[in-house]
Structure 1
Amino acid sequence: MVDNADHSRQAESSQDGSPAASRSSAGLDERTRQKVVAFKVSHVLLSVFFLWLTAVHIVGIFFFAKGFLLARLVLDNKSECAVLPDGQLSKETTGCWHPKCFDRAVIIIIDALRYDFTIPSERFMHEPLQKHYLDNLPVLHETAVARPEHAILLPFIADPPTSTLQRLKGLTTGTLPTFIDIGSNFAGTAIEEDNLVSQLKDAGKTIVHLGDDTWHSLFPGYFDPNMTRPYDSFNVWDLHTVDNGVIEHIMPLLDQTPAGWDIIFGHFLGVDHAGHRYGPDHAAMAEKLRQMNEVLEQIIKRIDDHTLLVIMGDHGMDTKGDHGGESDDEVEAALWMYSKRPLFGRTSKDALMPPATAKERPVGQIDLVSTLSILLGLPIPFNNLGRPIAEAFAGPRSVDWKTLARVEYLAQSQIARYQEHYARSRDLGLDEEAYQGQRTHLRRSTDASKSHQWEEAYYASVEWHKEVITMYRKLWANFNLADMLFGVIISGLSLTFLLLFARFSKGDKAIIATSLLRSAGLGTAAGAAVGPVLGALLPTYFSALAGLGLGASIGGVVAAGIWLYQNRAMKPFRFPSFWGFLAFLFCVTQSAGFASNSYTIHEDTILLFFLTTFGILSLMSSLRQTYQADRILGSYQSVLFILLTRLASFSRLCREEQMPGCRSSFYASTNSSISAPWQLLIPYSVALLLPEIIKAFYRGTASYAGSAGFWIGFCFRVGLSLVAVYWTVDAADNGEWWKEQISSTTLKTINLTLARCALAIALPVGIGTFLWAKPCIDISVVDAADRTDETAAPSRPQLTIFGYANAFGSRYFLLIPALVLAVALLLPPMGQFSITICAWQILCLVDMLDSNALTITSTSQSSIGPIILALLGSYHFFKTGHQATLASIQWSSAFVPLRTIRYPWSPLLVILNTFGAQIICAAAVPLTVFWKRPLGKVGVRGLWNDVVNACLTHALYYATIQVATTMWAGHLRRHLMLYRVFMPRYLMACGVLVIVDVVLVVSALAGARVVGLSVGEVFGY
């Protein structure tokens, strides 16, 4: 409660009926109208400025992503056994498209088996080198030399990036690697497209897997559960557990008579782990290779005449033992195929000896799929781009050109069919010349086949395949370093400009923004004019359209930066305060940490440390405050902030790399919304406690009045109660608790009704309340006759204004519960637990800032508040059940209020579910200005200027993270963990930056305008 006598006297004088008072009132009204107009114009100009900056961010992201993200469209088509790829019915009786050669297969992957690990040292060097990785795995080379009709050893060239996950996809689908496979399955890493394993399953084969458990995330449910033995693959320090497990279980399977299996996939990891831990030139590597040699010798003895044995590496390793890039040592793996029957051959006598180096007679890893498919009597998977390996079909005596030509024709027909469907589904973006060579070689191959010139037909098919692969490699598998560099330049320039404008510019931000927009517009126009010309002159680097975007972005940012410098709108550099340095330290250290996969994987723990550190420092600062009220309130809220941060840490969804040292509190499968029944108590507790918590903060400033009671005390509580009931019904439906009493269809209808009612309360009611509510104040009028104060004038009544001390903050916070309610509906119970703590921490934070005089004002431009809000948003992103991985996206949230996918609502629901914490914290940024801000000291323009400064600082954090992740992802594009760690984190940073930019415009700036006009209308500002 604030008793403001000055304001009371002003209110009384405004009721005076004298002409002078009327003229004064008219003048005041005119000034107020001018202020309101200026306020609205400032909002429009700054919104346009923010949108321009967002557009620059998007252009920078687009350029880097254009050169960095490898994408392809996954076709859902599947090859059929009875139908040949040319559309004719198959007449084969012992196979699908071609007579099969083997009934069973043992396929062994020795992870990171480099080609030079398998051949004698004297084969590729004049003088043998004393390297630990040499001459320890002789069985492969010796068998291929002594019995060439039984075994072949070839360099097996992987397509970069040489990470295990991408290599396994290529080895089973025959496709080139990309990061984004745009297909039907968005929720995980499982391979949904046609592949070798699914064809084996469809053929009724019993498939066994032993070793690396990555196979089970790619092919869930494909392997026989009784014989399959998966092992954790992430402990690179463990050289023996996985290998010993595979050896223990594969030998009894090979000894079975009759065999109860058809296909065995064995994946050894010891060689790869030895490389990561020690490097290839180490005694541990020699030991692992000797162990593999002994195991392979035993397997060779145990297989029968009808079993194909395949030994291969999925990639190699560099001199440090790492892989993931495209150096020769990383892409040159080994492939060895063995049959007890003499089936293999060579196309020339010179090819009888295994290649001395990987530069001689290499085969691509994508060629394995078509080779195994034909040998095992299966159809070639639909998306396969590889061709059959010639040595597997050339014949043990003279070269069987007819068989070679026929299997090449099958693969060629399948690739042509795939190409036709792909071209129809998506514009390849290639010119006519890309197809001309293909058509020529295809015509030659077809004509030669018709005339039975089998050797000519075979080589024509080989040439045709080279043209096709060249085209698709150009389309999918190359990083464009020029585009990546342009993206980094644009993002870096925009970050620099944002830093200067947010933290070093002086004066009215709205006035500066007006001039900046003018300069940026001129620069954009100039850049847009020059860019296409450069694109036409340098088509190798970018097109005319790309030049337009590049020139416009760089030109606009540079022109705006030059204006800042030339017009002396920059403050002189001064060392930041302690809190400013702390905010800078948090941003820089977190950005540097993204260079490490371990720090990126455990980012939530780092954020926990940052927030706890801030809480402790705030507690120390609060204890030093002059006023007792500030000391008590600041200390209490600081301790509470620390405890809430720690409490939220118990809510987490573990990513695979964090196992087994992490325990997830979220559901373990997509068929359950909870991991334990007790979690259903969380939504009810939230509905009971969160409105009371908010009410307590409002009552601390006597602000629980007006619309606050209706919205927070009633509507918000009802909405949260509906959310609680929704998740209870959802759990009952998934768990089939009431299947005898209520059908699943009825439960889903009930849930849709509950969800839509909750959304109606959150959005139409909540946003409507925020837009049209009056300030959360209450006025008490005390008549002269009732007053006991004898010193006051008896003729004048006294006005007591409740909520005056926090008129801005309490009015603006009405927006936050609406967002919390919408996000809570889309999150499972543990996510609601986290988002509730997030809302509570926002209130704690603004009280801490106020107690320590860190609220942004015209005299104090502290950056710590907006930065801590950004850290809170990032922290609770992880605590709401998300990770920086595509697999953690909760796609089911799109169906909470909807039966089917509807655009644009379904994507918006997923975005709100995924980035709800960042959205709420971004919307709360004006609270670092509004909370307990005194009225009357600074005019409306000063208030607006402070809000803009807070929003710019908040955006600065996310822009810094985006630039850091972009640069590290580009620099580490050859890294082992690129596709699992660095690229997903880069994508997350880009998405969050754009979303926060939009939220700051749509919510923070627009909300600040609503509050400014609402409070100003009542108090005359």
Structure 2
Amino acid sequence: MSREGSSKELSATTHGSDVLTDGLKRRGGTNNRAVAFKVSHVLVSIFFGWLFFVHATGLFLFTKGFLLTRLVLDNRSSCEVLPNGLPSRDISEGCWHPRTFKRAVVIIVDALRYDFTVPFLPIEHHTASKHYHDNLPFLYATALQNPEKAFLLPFIADPPTSTLQRLGGLTAGNLPTFIDIGSNFAGQATEEDNLLVQLKDQGKKIVHLGDDTWHALFPGYFDSNLTHAYDSFNVWDLHTVDNGVIEHIFPLLENQKSLGWDIVFGHFLGVDHAGHRYGPDHPAMGEKLRQMDNVLQRIAQSIDDETVLVVMGDHGMDPKGDHGGESDEEVEAALWVYSNRPRFGRLLKDHVQPPSNAKVRPVEQIDFVSTLSLLLGLPVPFNNLGSPIPEAFLRHTPATGQDQENLAKVNSLVFQQMQRYQSRYAESREFSESSSTKSLRDQFMSITSFDARLNEVFSQWHSQTVAMYRQLWANFNLQNMAVGLGVLVLGLVVLLLSSGASPRNNEDQLLRTLKGIAVGSFAGSVLAIPGLISDFTLAQATSVAGPLCLATVGSVLGALIAIFSAVPSLGFPSRTSIWTWLGLLFTLSQAAGFASNSYTIHEDTILTFLLGTFGAITLLSSLRQTVESDRVLGTYHSVLFLILTRAASYSRLCREEQMPGCRSTFYASQTSSTSATWQLLIPCLSAIVLPEIVKAFYKGTASYVGTANFWIGFCFRTGLSLVAMYWTVDSADNGEWFAEQFSSSTLKTISITIARCVFAIAVPIGFSTFIWAKPCVDISVLNLPSPSAVGDSKPHVTILGYANAFGSRYFLLIPVFVLSIVVLLPPMGQYSLALCAWQILCLLEILDTNGLIIDAVAQPFIGPVVLAMLGSYHFFKTGHQAVLSSIQWNAAFVPLRTIRYPWSPILIILNNFGPQIMCAAAVPLTVLWKRPISKEGLRGFWSDIMRSCVAHLLYYATIQVATTMWAGHLRRHLMLYRVFMPRFLMASGVLLIVDLVLIIFALGGTRVTGSSVAEIFGY
């Protein structure tokens, strides 16, 4: 049957005897064909699995040189030895310096931004008051009224502003590196010298309350009888952790003598969770800040004269309540230090607390370690790079005013400690000081008196030294980067060549080519390993990754040799239609643009333009079709595709760099993290409209029969209805609509139950239906009068759904992904994903009416490429950006109460990369949609599928190589950590995820579909 016939006929009608006889004849040779079909699937899966290995290896090698971690020295400071190497004379009142306090209570209010703690000045800000303003007045008022007892300062965090990395800096006093962000989901124990190590070495009893991240970093350090840790990642829970800390901290303070603790760490999470859940400008944030104000007042009243109280934020939050980046609002936390007795001084002459501008007198978070260590009479940790906070060591006397002698003494100790660290570090890594730093060092050492001049020189020397280390740890291993990039480029070349290595309508040649690639890659990897016996330069360049590098490079080269051996059968894209060139143009133009930070920032707008361009071109192409039905359908779906692209652009979540020219519509407001009430109409409408849309496409080929009726008409609709119920209950919980009737815990239980029902429909029922379902065809047999003989009749078989037997059968898989993803997305994200599913169907009809379905005759790559562009486009439209702060962590708790591995990370991946996953799963439809059922059965089936998957993967691999290349080239760019590196990480993650989706779902689903159709039609 021709393509035109298959795309227009709703059914096939023929003499039953002919059909049955042909079917039986074909069934006679089914066994051999079935075996060949399965072997082809296995070989194609192995090929894409090997590509996944190549991509993963290339990324590992590149990031090994690009995302460097700093060298951690295992030396420790000792109480008995001063930092200058001399023995300590008297340690009874403090190791290096006489202690000011015997005990400490350290309170971390997670995400306590500095402007949460200072009065709101409308004249200065020119804005209206927010819910986070003037709800925590105690800290500022105390520091203003009693400057000798308390001080409040901006507390500047080093990015990345994630809790685990900040805790490492707050306890070790050293600078973070970007790669540490990856451990925020599962921290590893800190190995370097730090504040808790020194406390433990001195026999101090340490108590922890709150965020359990501390126990991931410092296992075994806390008193097990007094410590109480709570789950830290349930950002929907605003009260459990805070209430737990409050419950246990006051008995500790009231019974210090009997309990004998020396330091208490209390980590509150409610403010951070309120920001993640609602955004800072929400009544819940005001409530949490007022609660913290009351708790901190009570704690300050409960401590004795020998205890210092420290209150701090580990980071801030952006206007939407998220953090992880380096914007001013994310790095500007607050630090408040309090004592019952006058112990502190001021650098400012009038002793007045600075105004609410964090640029006035800020201190670095790394300064906290040396400050608290010396206040408690402990050694400063060996790796510390922070300087003592002047306010903690200045003294004021009525006669002489400001006395800087004590500050000069502690600055001298820290100078010696840092010199010792620098000397040890120089033994392991080569680096050189600048002439100005050396001059300041010599000048400092020449000063013999402890006075203000010494403090001034120390401040200048310390700033330049820390800047030197920041630059030193930004050095990259260019050899590793080059090798990793080379592996990725070779993988891209293999993809490009293999796009023509699956010969048209020649399954035998495809099998031979794939076997050759398998043998060549294995032989290349084995032959490359002996190179390690000698001093092979490449192995040296990649250090411990040498064997992996050599094996991968040898494997890729072996695969290339195998592919080139099939040169006569290669069908390069240059030999195909203009549509393939259009796909290449879209891919290459987008890849080239990532050299620009403004292009990367506005990538969502660029994709809107590219998809609109595709829709306009297909509209012109459709108008030129000679067959009227093709012309009408193609025009209709092209126009609809354009409208849906524009409609999807309404869903926006602006990144900071796009402001103020961008207005977010994803949540209720620019500063909110919750959906508007009217947006609840979206999941309700989706439950009604989306199944009807799918039904309409199925009815176009009379395929809405059998399994389609059950799965799409009932299960899919039921699942979407439950999604609407879930988000309604969630909004009721957020807005406290039924606070008097139902508790928040009850509503959470209801919502979790509903979410689990959605996943039950999507996963076990959905996959079972897809695997075991029959094709969406309806076969009826009628005895009709024979035209050749009066009174005689012959059976006629009518097959409804014949025109799209492959496509309608495979598409049953797509609702599984729709349900699994939309339940994790807020309403505007569901709006975008529903439009994405609709656009996929429109795209398939456009491809069919314009003759662009990949088959044995044509192989235009435009369909799979546009699917990849749709996935990337709706990534942005579902409330995500290529920045860490846009990750919707609360998705991990939609069907769960606590973090559970591996389910929680899987839920985050589904939420974050859902559109790319769904579009990758839909790639085989560019081959199967309205694919003709020919007498040759499934001949050429896997070669067409392989070409479509390769084309789809080529888009992502090209983007990934481009972002890798530009990130490496622009490694010294000011916007590296803000723009280029996050985009590189996103492209790398998407590539690996798409690899796996193609292997598991696209190829696996294709095998299920092919076997199912073959069983019915006797192939």
> Quick one: structure 1 residues 34 and 570, their matched pair in 2 at CA, closer, same or farther if it must change by over 3 Å?
closer
Give, in angstroms, the shift of residue 49 of structure 1. 1.2
The one-letter amino acid paired with 1:218 is V
Aligned partners of 1:177, 1:13: CA distance in 2, in Å? 73
Aligned CA distance change for structure 1 residues 697 and 382 (closer, same or farther; 3 Å): farther
Q: Indicate how the Cα distance of structure 1 residues 755 and 368 shifts in structure 2: closer, same or farther if over 3 A, else same.
A: closer
Aligned to 2:483: 486
Q: Match for 1:827 among 821, 825, 828? A: 825
Contact 1:665 1:675 in 2 (8 A): no
Structure-1 residue corresponding to 2:609: 609
- Which amino acid in the other structure matches residue 660 of structure 1? P
CA distance 1:97–1:967, change in 2 (3 Å): farther
**Residue in 2 that maps onto 1:806:** 804
Tell me if 1:217 matches 2:225: no
2:119 paired residue number:
none
Counterparts of 2:775 and 2:100 in 1: how far apart (Å)? 79
Aligned pair 1:868/2:866, yes or no?
A: yes
**d(CA) in 2 for partners of 1:207, 1:797:** 79
2:959, 2:987 within 8 Å by CA — same for their partners in 1? Answer: yes
What displacement does 1:256 show?
Answer: 11
Structure 1 residue 515 and structure 2 residue 516: aligned?
yes
SS of the residue 2:175 aligns to: coil
CA gap 1:641/1:797 in 2 versus in 1, 3 angstroms: same
CA distance in 2, matches of 1:757, 1:883: 30
Question: Which of residues 488, 496, 501 is equivalent to 1:499?
Answer: 496
- CA shift, 1:567, in A, is 3.8
Q: Which amino acid aligns with 1:701?
A: T
C-alpha spacing 1:656/1:29, structure 2 compared with 1 (3 Å): same
Shift of 1:627: 0.5
Q: Note if contact 1:382-1:414 (Cα within 8 Å) is conserved in structure 2.
A: no
Q: Which residue of 2 is the match for residue 961 of structure 1?
A: 959
Q: In 1, Cα distance between the equivalents of 2:724 and 2:41?
A: 38
Partner of 2:606, secondary structure, is helix
| CA separation of 1:219 and 1:493: change in aligned 2, threshold 3 A | same
Give the structure 1 partner of residue 778 of structure 2: 778
1:580-591 matches, within 5 Å, as 580-591=580-591
Which of 7, 21, 24 is the aligned partner of 1:13?
Answer: 21
- Residue aligning to 1:949: 947
Report the secondary structure of 1:784's partner residue.
Answer: strand
Determine if contact 1:187/1:889 at 8 Å carries over to the other structure.
no
- Shifted more, 962-971 versus 502-511: the winner is 502-511
SS of residue in 2 equivalent to 1:796: strand
2 CA distance for matches of 1:887 and 1:792? 79
Give the Cα–Cα distance (whole angstroms) in 2 for the partners of residues 957 and 783 of structure 1. 53
Tell me how far apart the structure 1 counterparts of residues 354 and 374 of structure 2 sit (CA, whole Å): 14
1:28-39 superposed matches below 5 A: 28-39=26-37
Offset at residue 571 of structure 1 (A): 2.9
**Cα distance change, pair 93–743 in 1 and its aligned pair in 2 (3 A):** farther
| Larger RCO (CA within 8 A; separation ≥ 6) | 2
* Contact 2:13–2:796, Cα closer than 8 Å, also in 1: yes
Q: Indicate the residue corresponding to 1:658 in structure 2.
A: 658
In structure 2, what residue type is equivalent to 1:39?
Answer: F
**Residue 267 (1) aligns with residue 264 (2):** no
Paired residue secondary structure (1:814): helix
Structure 1 window deviating more from structure 2 (401-410 vs 756-765): it is: 401-410
Matched position secondary structure for 1:797: strand
What SS does structure 2 have at the residue aligned with 1:610? helix
1:667 Cα deviation from its structure 2 partner: 2.9
Name structure 1 gaps, 5 residues minimum.
16-24, 99-106, 108-157, 225-252, 269-308, 313-364, 420-427, 436-453
C-alpha change, 1:906 and 1:402, in structure 2 (3 Å) is closer
**Residue deviations 1:418-453 (CA, integer Å, cap 9, x gap):** 99xxxxxxxx9x999799xxxxxxxxxxxxxxxxxx
1:527 maps to: 528
- Contact preservation (8 Å) 2:733, 2:747: yes
Q: Which amino acid aligns with 1:217?
A: E
1:12 deviates by 4.3
- Alpha carbons of structure 1 residues 500 and 770: separation in structure 2 relative to 1, 3 Å: same
The 8 Å contact of residues 587 and 960 in structure 1, kept in 2 or not, is answered as yes
- State the distance in 2 between where 1:730 and 1:709 align: 31
Give, in angstroms, the shift of residue 647 of structure 1: 0.2
1:686 aligns with 686
Matches within 5 A, 1:763-774: 763-774=763-774
Partner of 1:176: 175
Partner amino acid, structure 1, of 2:21: S
Q: How does 1:155-304 map to 2 (within 5 A)?
A: 174-181=173-180, 182-183=183-184, 203=310, 214-219=327-332, 259=352, 261=353, 266-267=358-359
Alignment CA distance shift 1:874-1:539 (3 Å): closer
Change (3 A) 1:410 1:12: closer
- Provide the residue aligned with 1:1011 in structure 2: 1009
Deviations 1:462-516 (A, max 9, x none): 9xx99x9999989955311111111100000010111011146535433311111
> In 2, Cα distance between the equivalents of 1:830 and 1:208?
29
Q: Give the residue type in structure 2 aligned to 1:267.
A: K
**Could you tell me whether the CA contact under 8 Å between 1:66 and 1:484 is conserved in 2?**
yes
CA distance in 2, matches of 1:794, 1:664: 72
Question: Aligned pair in 2 of structure 1 residues 894, 997: CA closer, same or farther (>3 Å)?
Answer: same
How far does residue 565 in structure 1 lie from its aligned partner after superposition?
A: 1.7
1:543-582 alpha-carbon deviations (Å, 9 max, x no partner): 2x41111111111111111222234355376454221111
The equivalent of 1:317 in structure 2 is none
Change beyond 3 A, Cα 1:647–1:906 = same
Contact 1:2–1:800 (CA<8 Å) still a contact in 2?
A: no
Report deviation, 1:8: 3.4
Structure 2 match to 1:719: 719
SS state at 1:862 partner = coil
Q: What's the TM-score, normalizing by structure 1?
A: 0.67
Q: 1:531 to 1:580 in 2, by over 3 A?
A: farther
Q: Does structure 2 retain, via aligned residues, the 8 Å contact 1:564–1:570?
A: no
Q: 1:174-230 deviations in whole A, cap 9, x for unaligned?
A: 532411333459999xxx999xxx999964799999x99933222457799xxxxxx
Residues 641 and 841, structure 1, Cα contact 8 Å, conserved in 2: yes
The Cα shift of 1:921 comes to: 0.3
Q: Which of 890, 893, 905 pairs up with 1:892?
A: 890
Identity of matched residues, %: 52
Task: State whether residues 175 and 366 of structure 1, in contact with CA within 8 Å, keep that contact through their aligned partners in structure 2.
Answer: no
CA distance in 2, matches of 1:570, 1:979: 45
- SS of the residue aligned with 1:987? helix
**Which residue of the partner structure matches residue 978 of structure 2?**
980
Distance in 2 (alpha carbons) for counterparts of 1:206 and 1:780: 72
Which residue in the other structure is 2:443 paired with? none
> What stretches of structure 2 of length at least 5 have no aligned partner?
1-8, 104-113, 115-156, 185-212, 214-231, 236-265, 269-291, 301-307, 320-325, 338-345, 431-449
Distance in 1 between residues matched to 2:668 and 2:753, nearest whole Å? 27
Find the aligned partners of 1:489 and 1:170 in 2 and give their Cα distance: 35
Q: In 2, are the aligned partners of 1:208 and 1:263 still within 8 Å (CA)?
A: no
Structure 2 partner of 1:555: 554
Counterpart of 2:1004 in structure 1: which amino acid?
A: A
Cross-structure match for 1:566? 565
Query: What corresponds to 1:639 in structure 2?
Result: 639
Any idea what SS the aligned residue of 1:780 has?
A: strand
Quote the offset at 1:948 in angstroms: 1.2
Q: TM-score, normalised by structure 2?
A: 0.67
Check the 8 A contact 1:56/1:494 in 2, yes or no: yes
Is 479-488 or 507-516 further displaced after alignment?
507-516
Distance 1:216 1:4 in 2: 66
How far apart are the structure 1 equivalents of 2:426 and 2:583?
A: 51
Q: Distance in 1 between matches of 2:380 and 2:598?
A: 37
In the superposition, relative to structure 1, how do residues 223 and 926 fare at CA in structure 2: closer, same or farther (>3 Å)?
A: farther
| RMSD between aligned residues | 5.1
Contact 2:803 / 2:931 at 8 angstroms: preserved in 1? yes
Q: Which residue of 2 aligns with 1:299?
A: none
- Cα distance in 2 for partners of 1:654, 1:946 equals 39
SS state at 2:940 partner = helix
Match of 1:578 in 2: 578
Match of 1:273 in 2: none
In 2, Cα distance between equivalents of 1:513 and 1:521: 12
| Cα pair distance change 1:926/1:383, threshold 3 Å | farther
